[in-house]
Structure 1
């Protein structure tokens, strides 16, 4: 894997019809921000060949909203990404992405935020970028990392929805 993209799901409703967190759907703002972030990534020339999506409803809807930006990507829905810790997210991405160029994970906080910070520290990220990531990783936030041949991550960018920019 040459690139890892961590994408937090869009803004979700506070409760679901079933009362189960797993079934929470996106709010209209969550749908529009996810689509906007997909467009921003595509406009920057970001290509993705594998997308790993938590099986939760809000992450599936996030992928649906941004999928048009990555029509060639293979998509896998992963139960183990639901509310996964940072180490688990990394293991899943590395295993699935062993023979891929670019992998996107659509998942949840706190795991994605923790993994973003861990990868930035590991790769010696610019202090200003690390500080920005440390302050907030809101819904529809995206962290991009280049992965070197030695597996070392290099923070490329942190994209936040316009309301946080």
Structure 2
């Protein structure tokens, strides 16, 4: 390549130059030496430019790779953000439902507490009325309840005894029936 370039430059210089007396050998040598120096410099610039282009190309490929990774990471971050937003929306909806349920429960507890207070007041009023109207009547009712409890206990014992007696009779009857069947 430098030889072709030198030859081209020589031909160009000769065609555009005005006719002059033939140059001496020393002048031609100096001229050729300059052309060679120029060719080497041009060659060196060509090589260094090629090296620079190679380095720039490698740097560009690295940058493109990094940009692709960055794009992938950005997409993944976007998907993750979307999932987080969906999860957050779900949690917020659950929290709202729990708050509504807590309010309903709080209202129910307050209503039950109020009813309990009212029931205790009514019971206290009823006891006060019973105690003030017939103190002897309460004692009579308690004694009657105790007597009825004793009678119920005795009735239960008697019923149990009758049940056992009935079972014994049924067993004796079953034996008699078996014995009569064997005889017949």
**TM-score, normalized by length of structure 2?**
0.15
**TM-score, normalized by length of structure 1?**
0.16
**Which of 1 and 2 has greater Rg?**
2
Tell me which protein shows more helix as a share of its residues. 2
Larger RCO, structure (CA 8 Å, separation 6 or more):
1
